[in-house]
Amino acid sequence: MTSEWGAENLYVSYGKIVALDGVSLSAPPGQVTAVVGGDGAGKSTLLRCLAGALAPDSGIVRRPDKHRLGYLPASSGIYPDLTVAENLDFRAVGYGMPARLARERAAEYLERAGLTSAAGRLAGQLSGGMRQKLAVIAAMLHHPELVVLDEPTTGVDPVSRSGLWWLIARAAAEGCAIVMATTYLDEAERCSSVLVLDGGTMIASGTAEDIVAAMPGSLRPAVAKPDGDAARRAWRRAGQWRVWDPGGAKAGQGERQGGDPITPDLQDAVTVAALAWGGAA
Amino acid sequence: MWAMIVKEFRQVRRDRRTLAMMIVLPVLLLVVLGYAASFDVKTITVAASGPQAGSVASILRAPFDVTRTAPDRGPSWARDQLRDGKADVAVVTGGARPHVLIDGSQLFSAKAALAALAEMQQRAPSGPGGTGLHPTVTVLYNPGLKTSNIMIPGLCGVVLVFVGTIITSLGVVRERQTGTLEQLAVMPLKPRDVFLGKIVPYFLVAAVDLAIVLAVGITIFGVPFHGSPATFGLGALLFLFVTLGIGVLISSVSQNQGQAIQLAVMTLLPQVLLSGLIFPLSSIAAGVRWIAYFLPLTYFNQISRGVMLRAEPITALWQPFVFLALLGVIVVTGATLRFRSYLAPAARERRPRKAAVQAQGAGA
């Protein structure tokens, strides 16, 4: 097994639009790597390159051969007019799995995901969360070395999300390298490392703690949206305004200026990274 | 309501293909059909055999056109000319009265020939010199001149076009719409296997369809099947090969099922109207007729009518077979290449542009 899958210095453009601009990513075995970013940040493009569905203009992709790679595209890749069992059967045959092993593993995964009773239902009739769980199971059924999941939890209810996380964590525990795109930063915090994309560019990477620690300046609370230049550095979260001060001291350091500095979390650090990248500093 | 009207216009404007269907297609169809829509037979080709074969040309006037004469050949040669589609009418001389054989599988030519012969007999007085004016007439291959006999062999082809082109294009484009084509691209499947796996089921369905249509045509409509089933089967196989390829080609340039249907209809209409199925090829104006030679149904029509009605052997049908095979190779190669580009994204060896590299540097 190769020690680390991933990509180096990927560059992808669609016509004049640069979708990925020198993006690198490591996916160590047994770890979950999160790719976060807003709409159009380049998450799906990066994952498609990693999975081999898209060839980059330049850069290096390290991935196992197709038999040892699992991929969940943004569209879920599930046939809506096949049943749950038929979808998994198609995947198992496609990956050349022995029939008995495929049956046993499918039964186990369906059981753990709470989908056993839905095995005979058409995938198109499943709820969004059930369909995503099926898609994740299908991507992992053949025990790949690298699993690439494009927003597996988007639009999924909290209960189904925990079910999905059980599947993901178990695959990682078995030594699988997992790369998943997500828009939920609480999920990204649970991952071993995080890559933050904005406009096709890496604006932060590392563990969630590293990214938070590397956040420049400080955050302060405000009762109302500030005026002037500071308005560009303010956002509302949990009922109050937060203002980023690029030159300010971090929480617990320096002098007080208009309120106690807020101890930032990953969500704050990613927001600040995007502001800094956008020139709000 | 105004908001809805504006919205619809905006949507239609962006969907160029629908716009083309709405504006260009009716004009195109009218022009093409205007030239194509003709049952009038202006020329009836004639082959003459027997001792007086040479004089037949001087007796028969337009619309007859004596293109082949063989004074030293007999009735079997004349029949072969009709069977192999080399002439519409054959005149056998040498007997007490000339014997005119008419190819009933060329329905409109046959009707025109009968009418022209009757007119000639009415005009010319009978007498010792009027050798050609009191012939015995035999209509071969479709003696009752039944329309169903010539339509059903052609309709077999239309059924195959329907299944082959429309259904196949929908099946493949559905993979793209549901996003499963991307899933297939990363699975350990060879593009060739995916391609064949996609079309083989439709191939089998089309083959069953064909058998049903043939059985219905033969049992209910009494259409004869005089020729070799193997020759017919080979023709159908080649024809299916082309139509399935067109289906995949259509799906590869369509983003959704609506677009696929539009394109498939655009290929189906000219095939129905210009292939000789309805209007005889010889009646279609030359300015439009050339289109027919790019349509697979034109060749399948020739094969199916030739085999079913005239028992035409494969040696006489080599031209439609060769053209069908040629069309098949072109279409299937194009379809495979398009399909492969989706399933095996080739590495694009382009270097990053300078501006983008600078932007990367600025962000680092």
H-helix or E-strand spanning residue B48 = strand B44-49
Of the partner residues B179, B346, B353, the one whose CB lies closest to the CB of residue A73: B179
Q: Do A194 and A223 lie in a common domain?
A: no
| Residue A98 CA: distances (Å) to CA of A64, A78, A115 | 20, 21, 22
- pLDDT digits over A221-257, tens only? 888 888 888 888 888 888 888 899 887 665 555 444 4
For residue B30, with 0-12 CB atoms within 10 Å meaning exposed, 13-18 middle and 19 or more buried, which class applies? exposed
> pLDDT by residue (tens digit) across B332-363?
888 888 877 777 664 443 444 433 322 233 33
User: How large is the average pLDDT for residues B161-181?
Assistant: 84
CA distances from A9 to A62, A254, A273 (A): 12, 39, 20
Question: Minimal Cα–Cα distance from A257 to chain B, Å?
Answer: 30
Supply the DSSP string of B235-296, one letter for each residue.
HHHHHHHHHHHHHHHHHHT-SSHHHHHHHHHHHHHHHHHHSSSSS-GGGS-HHHHHHHTT-H
Strands of chain A, DSSP E: 5-14, 17-27, 32-36, 58-62, 69-72, 146-150, 177-182, 193-198, 201-206, 218-222, 234-237, 240-245
Q: Are residues A65 and A197 in the same domain?
A: yes
Helix (H) or strand (E) holding B215: helix B191-219
CATH code: domain of residue A174: 3.40.50.300
Running DSSP on this structure, what letter comes out for residue A57?
Answer: S
Identify whether residues A198 and A225 lie together within a single domain: no
Residue A235 lies in a domain: yes
DSSP B167: I
Residue B295 identity (one-letter amino acid): L
**Coil, strand, or helix at residue B169?**
helix
- Which pair of structure tokens corresponds to residue A184? 């939920």
Residue A195 pLDDT exceeds 50 = yes
**Residue A89 placed within a domain:** yes
Do A221 and A128 belong to one domain?
no
- What integer pLDDT is reported at residue B25 of this predicted model? 77
Residue A278 lies in a domain: no
The secondary structure of B297-354 as a DSSP string is HHHHHHHHHHHHHH---TTTTHHHHHHHHHHHHHHHHHHHHHHHHHHS-PPP-PPPPH
Is position A280 within any domain? no
The answer to whether residue A172 sits within a structural domain is: yes
Percentage of the residues of chain B whose pLDDT score is greater than 70: 91
User: For residue A139, which of A173, A104, A176, A100 has the smallest C-alpha distance?
Assistant: A176
Q: Are residues A163 and A54 in the same domain?
A: yes
Rounded-to-integer distance, Cα B259 and Cα A154, Å: 30
The verdict on domain B44-140 having CATH code 3.40.190 is yes
Average pLDDT over residues B252-274: 84
Phi–psi pair at B263, nearest 5 degrees = -65, -40
A21 and A122 fall within a common domain: yes
Contact B359 A21 (CB under 8 A): yes
Estimate to the nearest angstrom the gap between the alpha carbon of B122 and the chain centroid. 39
Q: What is the mean pLDDT of chain A?
A: 89
Residues linked to residue A21 through DSSP beta bridges, in sequence order:
A11
Containing domain of residue A257, as a range? 216-263
Summarised one tens digit per residue, pLDDT across range A149-194 is 999 988 788 888 888 888 899 999 999 999 999 988 888 999 999 9
Q: Taking a C-beta distance cutoff of 8 angstroms, is the pair B288, B32 a contact?
A: yes
pLDDT at A255: 45
CA atoms within 13 A on the CB side of B178: 17
Strand order in the sheet with A234-237: A218-222, A240-245, A234-237
More confident site: B132 or B65: B65
Are A58 and A120 found together in one domain? yes
Of B186, B346, B351, the CB nearest to A51: B186
| A276 is a domain residue | no
Residue A269 belongs to some domain of the structure: no
Q: Are residues A115 and A254 in the same domain?
A: no
Q: Would you place residue B124 in the very low, low, confident or very high pLDDT band (cuts 50, 70, 90)?
A: low
What percent of chain B has a predicted confidence (pLDDT) above 90?
A: 13
Structural domains counted in chain A: 2
Q: Which residues of A7-37 are buried (b: 16+ CB within 10 A; e: fewer)?
A: beebbbbeeeebbbbbbebbbebebbbbbbb
Nearest CA in chain B to A148: B186
Q: Which of A51, A58, A74 sits opposite B352 (nearest CB)?
A: A58
Place of tokens 């079910």: A163
Distance between CA B136 and CA B107 in Å, rounded? 19
Q: What is the pLDDT of residue B361?
A: 30
Does residue B48 come out as left (phi exceeding 0), alpha (psi in the -120 to 50 range) or beta?
beta
Min Cα–Cα distance to chain A from B145, Å: 48
Cβ contact, residue pair A95, B187, below 8 Å: yes
pLDDT band per the 50, 70, 90 thresholds, residue B234: very high
Please give the average per-residue pLDDT across B106-135, as a whole number. 72
> Would you list which residues of chain A are within 8 Å, Cβ to Cβ, of chain B?
11, 13, 18, 21-22, 48, 51-58, 65-67, 69, 71, 73-80, 91, 94-96, 201-203, 277
Q: Where are chain B's structural domains?
A: 44-140, 147-343
A108 and A237 fall within a common domain: no
Which residues contact residue A104 at a Cβ distance below 8 angstroms, ignoring those fewer than 6 apart? none
A13 and A128 part of one domain: yes
In a domain, A251, yes or no: yes
Q: Which residues in chain A are contacts of B347 at CB distance < 8 A?
A: 55-56
What's the N-to-C CA distance of chain B in angstroms? 52
A101 SS3 class: helix
Q: Which pLDDT does position A1 carry in this prediction? A: 45
Nearest chain B CA: its distance from A76 CA (Å): 7
The owner of tokens 């049908």 is B317
Same domain, A153 and A89: yes
